[in-house]
Amino acid sequence: MTKAKKKELAERIEKIMKKLNEIYTIPVFEDRDPYKVLVRTILSQRTKDTNTDKATSQLFAKYKDIHEVAEAPIEDIEKLIKSAGFFRVKANRIKEVSHIILDHYGGIVPNNMKELIELPGVGRKTANCVLVFAFQEPAIPVDTHVHRIPNRWGIVNTTSPEKTEEELMKFVPKHLWIELNDLIVQFGQTICKPVHPQCYECSITDQCDYYRDNIA
């Protein structure tokens, strides 16, 4: 990527993020406990936020911390997180990760990408979520919205979330990394939907290649 292209894309994303900040509010997380953020992100895989919220709330209402979860009967964890889907796989993953963190990290969730992705079932998206939402470390979690929407805008041209993250990191100013996921996810849930995006209600069509090529 040339310096000129990087500058152009950086200016575009700055304008987009400024507009999204005017529309949406960054949620204030009352509980940034890294372990709970990690578990919530594991539960969030392949399900809706409402299901994740219910499963997370039920699990930690009964088992307060990593020690209690690690010792909890697997069948009980499965019952508590059932709303999140794939509950048997996720319950086993949560138990396994909990024991590893207790045995190898003294019960403290690692705060760096290298060690996080060594945990079973923790990929870059999950690790980035922990870095951003628990530790407030600059990172770019790429979920389905953050992969789809920058491709629609035309600021990336990628075929996988991993590649999208790699490309975004090249030009998105670092001070925008922490808020980028939250803002784009809200935008994707309300306006730039996977099917039938609400282009006529969108306030950033001037920065969108999809609108220019298909609607305008």
Q: How far is Cα 61 from Cα 26, in angstroms, rounded to an integer?
A: 25
Rounded Cα gap, residues 56 and 45, in angstroms: 12
* Residue 101, CA distances (Å) to 8, 39, 94 in order: 43, 12, 11
Q: Please, which residues have CB within 8 angstroms of residue 57's CB and are 6 or more apart in sequence?
A: none
Cα–Cα dist 215/192, whole Å = 13
Is 202 annotated in a binding site? The answer is yes
How far apart, in whole angstroms, are the C-alpha atoms of residue 209 and residue 213?
A: 6
State yes or no: 208 annotated in a binding site.
Answer: yes
The reply to whether 199 sits in an annotated binding site is: yes
HSE at residue 196, side-chain half, CA atoms within 13 A, is 0
HSE, side-chain direction, 13 A CA sphere, residue 34: 19
Residue 139 in contact with residue 177, Cβ under 8 Å?
Answer: yes
- Could you tell me if residue 196 is left (phi over 0), alpha (psi between -120 and 50 degrees) or otherwise beta? left
Question: Is 129 annotated in some ligand binding site?
Answer: no
Q: Per the annotation, where are the binding residues?
A: 192, 199, 202, 208
Q: Per the annotation, where are the binding residues for [4Fe-4S] cluster?
A: 192, 199, 202, 208
